Amino acid sequence: MEVRHRKYLLRILVYIIGLLFLAFGVAFSINSGLGVSPVNSLPYVISVITGVELGTMVIIVFSFYIFVQILVLRRQFKWINLTQLVFATIFGYFTNFAKMIVGDFAIPTYPGKLIMLAISIVIVAIGISLYVDASLVNMPMEGMVGAINEKIFKNKTFADVKVILDTTVVIIGIGLSLVFLGEVEGIREGTIICALVVGKLMKPMQKRIYPIVEKICF
C-alpha cells in the first residue's frame, strides 16, 4: 500500500512539473511577441483588457471551463473532476512565477522572435507530455472538450472537437481584443504555428518521456 501511495504522489509530482514547464512555455510565447497558444489566448487577452495578472485570469477562465463541464454533463459530471480547479490554480500561480523569472527577456529581430517561439513550443510540448503521461485528470480545456464531445458532437473525434473549441476561443479573443483594445493583442501567426506544431512534436517526445514516467510512477 505504501508503494502504491508513493507512486500516486510521484504521478502528482510529474503532473505539477508538467504544469511548470507549460507555464514557462507561456512566458516565452508572450515574450516572443508572435502570439500565445490557443488555450491561453483568451485569458491573455482578458488580462490585457482588465489589467488583472495573467495567472489570476487563467484561474478564472479555466474555472468557467469547469462550470461548462458541469452544465453539459449534469448528473454525469464526476466530482473528482473538480480537482481540475486545484491544478488550474497551481498553473495560474506558475504562470505568474514564470513571467516573473523570464521577465522582459526577448531576442530582437523577427528571426529572434521565431527562436523564442520555438523554445516556447518545445517547452509546452514537454509540459503537456508530462501531465498527460501522469494520467490523473484533464486540464479544464481538455475536460470541456471531452464533455462537449460526449454530449453534443457525438459523431466527431476528440481531436476534431478540440480544433473547433480552440478556434472558437481564439475568435472570441480576437473579438474582445478588437472591441476593447482597438487591435488584435496576443494572437498572431505564433498562435497558429503553436496549434499546428505542438501536437506533432508531442508524438516523438512521448516515445522518450512516457517510458521514464511509467518506470517512475507506475
Report pLDDT digits (tens) over 85-143: 999 999 999 999 999 999 999 998 999 999 999 999 999 999 999 998 998 988 999 89
Closest listed residue to residue 124, CA positions, set 69, 46, 177, 193: 193
Burial class (CB in 10 A: 0-12, 13-18, 19+), 92: buried
Helix axes 110-133, 2-32, angle to 10 degrees: 160
pLDDT mean across residues, the chain: 92
In this prediction the pTM is: 0.92
User: What are the tens digits of pLDDT across the range 68-84?
Assistant: 999 999 989 988 899 99
Distance (Å, whole) CA 10 – CA 16: 10
Closest listed residue to residue 166, CA positions, set 27, 65, 48, 49: 65
Q: Look at the block and give the residue holding cell 473525434.
A: 157
Binning pLDDT at 50, 70 and 90, where does residue 163 land? confident
The secondary element (H helix, E strand) that includes residue 59 is helix 54-73
Binning pLDDT at 50, 70 and 90, where does residue 1 land? low
Q: Which three cell numbers stand for residue 193?
A: 504555428
Instruction: Report the amino acid identity of residue 8.
Output: Y
pLDDT at 172: 95
Distance (Å, whole) CA 33 – CA 5: 43
pLDDT at 87: 95
183-191 average pLDDT score: 93
pLDDT at 147: 93
Phi and psi at residue 136, to the nearest 5°: -105, -95
Binning pLDDT at 50, 70 and 90, where does residue 156 land? confident
